[in-house]
Amino acid sequence: VWSGDVARAFRIAARLRAGGVGINTVGRNMEAPFGGFKKSGVGRDVGSYALRAYSETQAVVWPG
């Protein structure tokens, strides 16, 4: 989103259904998840967020 009004650009970015949005840049954070919505992809890849798609939380209790 390119704009001289940064607050407006953030409001517009929040309304977009996109996996990544840049404010006045084409760069991206390599630790942030990368992926799309609908038919553009399933889940998110890259970064620590991607681990959630391939993990299941398990609680192990040991009284010892």
Please give the distance of CA 57 from its chain centroid, rounded to a whole number.
Answer: 20
Give dist(CA 17, CA 57) in Å, integer: 28
8 band by pLDDT with thresholds 50, 70 and 90: very high
Q: Check whether 33 has a pLDDT greater than 70.
A: no
CA distance 24 to 10: 10
pLDDT for residue 11 is more than 60: yes
Q: What percent of the chain has pLDDT over 90?
A: 19
What are the CA-CA distances from residue 64 to residues 57, 58, 59, 61 (Å)? 22, 18, 15, 9
Q: Which residue has the higher pLDDT, 37 or 10?
A: 10
Q: Give the predicted TM-score (pTM) of the model.
A: 0.52
